Amino acid sequence: MMIEDEELRLLYKTSSEEHLQKLESDLMILEKNPQDTAALEEFLREAHTLKGDSRMLGLDDIEMLVHHLEDSMEGIKAGQSEITPELCDRLYQGIDAINQLSRNAVTGESIEVNTSAVLAYLMGSSEQVPAMETSEADLFADDDDLFDTQSVLDDGEADLFDDPLADSEADLFGDDDDLFDTQSVPDDGEADLFDDDLSDNSAANLVENVPLVASPQVQISTPPSPPLVAAAGTERNYKIDTIRVEPQKLDALMTQASELTVTKLRISQQITEIEQILALWSGWGREDKTILSDIEQAVDPEVLLPLKQYLHSTEQRVNSLGNLIVNLRTRANEDINSLGIISDRLETGINGLRQLPLATVFNIYPRMVRDLARQQGKEIELIIEGGDTKADKQILEEIKDPLLHLIRNAIDHGIETPAERIAQGKSSTATLTLRGYQTGSSIGIEISDDGRGLNLDRISQTAIKRKVHTEAEISMMSEAEIQSLIFASGFSTRTEITELSGRGVGLDVVRANVERLKGAIQVTSVPGNGCKFQVRLNTSLATTKVLIVELVHTLYALPLEFIQTMITLTSQDIYEIEGKTTITFEDRPLSVTPLDRLLQLPRPETEEVKNYLSCIVLQVGSNRFGVIVDDLVDQQDVVLKPQSKLLKRVPNIAGATILGNGSVCMVLNPTDLIHSFRNGSWQNAVATVETAVAKNRLLLVEDSIIIRTQMQRLLKGAGYEVTIAENGLLGLQQVQNQGFDIILSDVEMPQMSGLEMTKAIRQNSNYDRLPIVLITTLASPEDKRRGKDAGANAYLTKGDFDQQLLFETLEQLIYVRN
């Protein structure tokens, strides 16, 4: 039975799911608060529409069942019956059956719902619902309508109906009076037979062979098999239909959006160029024009006229050029601003597209909790908070089962029966709280109950029995550590297998599922006073949370999921064990190493020693180690761009990302790092680094302390070994004392200027090949010529000082020298 027309099939799928969801939630409301007329009205409206749709599509079974739901509720509305838990049970079962039937109509999947039997079960409520009047006309149009309520119900009734009406077109238009005849259901508990062809065995079949969808054993939301597996198979298909875009496409959009950010930065750099043009232009306008009047006096004005005209028109053109540039700058500024705003909005917008409220998942639990509570005879109030917290669609879909399992566990293992609770002085109704909340850029989901809590002794015993840990190991453990043993593989404190929560396969699988979503799970429990599970998840799978660290003046990112903690060390904290630098962390020795050594990065040696060291404790699987970095910069969500496919494998690097300022940042791979840490004894690494990169020795001659400090830092960063001299004389002494690869000098200095020093150095033929770079504010061609005459190899002006140019010049000169 599948709807033939594809368009209608999709429409029906969406609308019926919606209607059923509402029916169920309305029923939940009504069960708690029978006076809620708004819910009652909505229930009726939803049922009515669903019935109409089903009827139009010829889905008779569904129509029949929905009709009955509607009827029951009409009876309640009319005050002819009351909402009882039993009635609700029946109605829920009816909704479940309809759910299955509609899935069959949409997917064509075969299902095992015996509509007649379900209907019979629903009819069990008939004594509360005498408002059956017109319904039988439609409901029992099938020829095998044979209902044995006794098979399902305890009340001992056996009502057998058959359709007394030949005309199943129960509509107004072909009507005769009997359509609206009352064919009320007998309420005297006797078996009524409306048809003769009833045979005993057909009734028996119904009971024995036909799996009743309504019976608790196959109750839809409580499969008896291990829940995590069974949930996917037998439970109603959980889907969020609002998004119809493949997530990959959104990811691609995300990547593009971040590229846009980079482009935006590059465009704003062009503003700087425009500013330069503008500066050039305004300088041009101010140029000295007296030269013309000087010539005018010397030359015949007549001869000069064409030249004057030419100059005049040039002047005008320069002016209009200037205006154009000014306009260009204004417009470019505006455009960059709006581009910035738009690209920001795009990025957040695309991010938001994948996000849905947690309520989409939370909504499915109330029903389950209710059913479980009833089956186990427990009284539970489920409190849901923070359903509007948003998370990635995929996270929502995948967190559904782990949460389901945790809730089940809480009900099955945690929450006591009312009697037990009263004996312990608790209120008979247990509280189960499901709470979603946002913390920074991650979300948390908490499931807490006020049940019996975790039993530490039992956990310890089980862990020993299952050989998860030895007794000695456990005696060393803290309470929290023992509690978290329940997440260990194959661990369950419950010896018998209960029908409901499966076989305790749960918690290790739950943990694995949560970790697959880059999340973490934690348990805290006060024995006798409940238990709280906290799940922490990223809101988005598209981005990775990283810690940005600085290392030798470069930023690197470390994925947060591997970072256990960050600590500050002083040099006293570090000692050696078996030749390894070690610290004491959480009362245990922990090996530490500078991250730059691990990455084999060259580090200038002259750097000052810090008073404290920033150490990041990384945890990869069960391995822990510390890495020391120069600085902790920031924590961010970044879009990880994998390496080019041309690169097969880059050790220690997981990929790259583009930071907010547009710079590229390498994302490190902690799994590789631990490998590097173990295999490459880092002392060797240091040795190779030293031989590989012999540093160039540079003499910096500069009298201004500010410029000197800045330059020194800059040059060290670029890998030079820097020696300082405060004036030309001292510089000359340094040159005579030790060998340098290059000299970088200011020109104007007390005692001896840069020019004098250069001349002095050049007088000694030993230093013929020693490159000297002069750097000065004196920028006239005359100055440059003088510098060159003195013997300098390059002459840079401070006005347009450009690091890049400086480094290039230095490198080039050193290269030429060698």
Partner 1 sequence: MPKIKVLLVEDSAVAINIYEKMLNSSRHIEVVGKAANGKEGLDLALKLKPDVICTDLQMPQMDGIEFTKQVMAQYPTPILVLSNSVQKTDTERIYEAMQAGAVDVMAKPQTALGGNSESMQNELIVKIRVLSTKKVSLIPLK
- Least distance CB 52 / partner 1 (angstroms): 4
Closer residue to partner 1, CB minimum distance, 181 or 397: 181
Length of the chain: 818
The two tokens of residue 680 are: 């490459």
- Least distance CB 42 / partner 1 (angstroms): 10
- Least distance CB 57 / partner 1 (angstroms): 5
211 part of the interface to partner 1, by CB under 8 A = no
Torsion sign (Cα): 801, 803, 806, 809: negative
| String of contacts with partner 1 for each residue 33-72, x by CB under 8 A | ------------x--xx-xxx-xxxxx-------x--x--
Edge-first strand listing for the sheet containing 442-449: 380-385, 430-439, 442-449, 531-538, 520-525
C-alpha closest to that of 542 among 343, 250, 242:
250
Pick the piece of the chain touching partner 1 (CB under 8 A) from 20-28, 164-172, 246-254, 303-311.
164-172
How large is the C-alpha radius of gyration of the chain?
41
162 part of the interface to partner 1, by CB under 8 A = no
Give 571-576 contacts, CB < 8 A, sequence gap 24+.
571/609, 571/613, 574/613
Pick the piece of the chain touching partner 1 (CB under 8 A) from 3-11, 312-320, 417-425, 456-464.
3-11
- Least distance CB 46 / partner 1 (angstroms): 11
Closer residue to partner 1, CB minimum distance, 17 or 31: 17
9 part of the interface to partner 1, by CB under 8 A = yes
The phi and psi torsions of 413 (rounded to 5 degrees) equal: -100, -35
- Least distance CB 73 / partner 1 (angstroms): 12
111 part of the interface to partner 1, by CB under 8 A = no
| String of contacts with partner 1 for each residue 507-546, x by CB under 8 A | ----------------------------------------
Give 280-286 contacts, CB < 8 A, sequence gap 24+.
281/318, 281/321, 281/322, 281/325, 282/322, 284/318, 285/318, 285/319, 285/322
180 part of the interface to partner 1, by CB under 8 A = yes
Pick the piece of the chain touching partner 1 (CB under 8 A) from 133-141, 204-212, 334-342, 515-523.
133-141
Edge-first strand listing for the sheet containing 563-570: 563-570, 612-620, 623-629, 588-594, 580-585, 575-577
Pick the piece of the chain touching partner 1 (CB under 8 A) from 132-140, 330-338, 449-457, 634-642.
132-140
Pick the piece of the chain touching partner 1 (CB under 8 A) from 23-31, 131-139, 472-480, 542-550.
131-139
- Least distance CB 66 / partner 1 (angstroms): 11
Closer residue to partner 1, CB minimum distance, 49 or 498: 49
SS3 700: strand
Closer residue to partner 1, CB minimum distance, 5 or 789: 5
Q: DSSP for 490-544?
A: T--S--SPPSSSTTS-HHHHHHHHHHHTT-EEEEEE-TTS-EEEEEEEES-SSSE
186 part of the interface to partner 1, by CB under 8 A = no
Q: How many CB atoms lie within 10 A of CB 615?
A: 26
Closer residue to partner 1, CB minimum distance, 174 or 781: 174
- Least distance CB 64 / partner 1 (angstroms): 11
Closer residue to partner 1, CB minimum distance, 23 or 380: 23
Q: How far apart are CA 364 and CA 716, in angstroms?
A: 61
Closer residue to partner 1, CB minimum distance, 3 or 666: 3
- Least distance CB 133 / partner 1 (angstroms): 7
Pick the piece of the chain touching partner 1 (CB under 8 A) from 12-20, 307-315, 711-719, 793-801.
12-20
Pick the piece of the chain touching partner 1 (CB under 8 A) from 5-13, 26-34, 233-241, 766-774.
5-13
Please answer whether residues 453 and 414 qualify as being in contact, where contact means their C-beta atoms are separated by less than 8 angstroms: yes
| String of contacts with partner 1 for each residue 744-783, x by CB under 8 A | ----------------------------------------
Q: What type of residue is 669?
A: N
C-alpha closest to that of 365 among 503, 222, 532, 239:
222
- Least distance CB 208 / partner 1 (angstroms): 31
- Least distance CB 55 / partner 1 (angstroms): 6
Angular region, 407: left φ>0, alpha ψ -120 to 50, beta rest:
alpha
Task: State how far Cα 329 lies from the chain centre.
Answer: 40
- Least distance CB 139 / partner 1 (angstroms): 10
Q: How far apart are CA 272 and CA 269, in angstroms?
A: 5
- Least distance CB 367 / partner 1 (angstroms): 25
SS3 635: strand
C-alpha closest to that of 811 among 771, 784, 774, 777:
771
C-alpha closest to that of 212 among 140, 139, 121:
121
Number of alpha carbons in the 13 Å side-chain half-sphere of residue 556: 21
Using CB under 8 A as the binding rule, the residues of this chain from 434 to 473 that contact partner 1 are none
142 part of the interface to partner 1, by CB under 8 A = no
Q: How far apart are CA 736 and CA 44, in angstroms?
A: 101
Pick the piece of the chain touching partner 1 (CB under 8 A) from 2-10, 266-274, 298-306, 515-523.
2-10
181 part of the interface to partner 1, by CB under 8 A = no
21 part of the interface to partner 1, by CB under 8 A = no
Closer residue to partner 1, CB minimum distance, 59 or 659: 59
C-alpha closest to that of 685 among 616, 603, 626:
603
- Least distance CB 101 / partner 1 (angstroms): 12
CA distances to 371, 434, 614 from 221, in Å: 8, 18, 51
Closer residue to partner 1, CB minimum distance, 106 or 699: 106
C-alpha closest to that of 21 among 193, 239, 202, 234:
239
- Interface with partner 1 (CB under 8 A): 1-5, 7-9, 11-12, 14-15, 45, 48-49, 51-53, 55-59, 67, 70, 74, 105, 133-134, 138, 170-173, 180
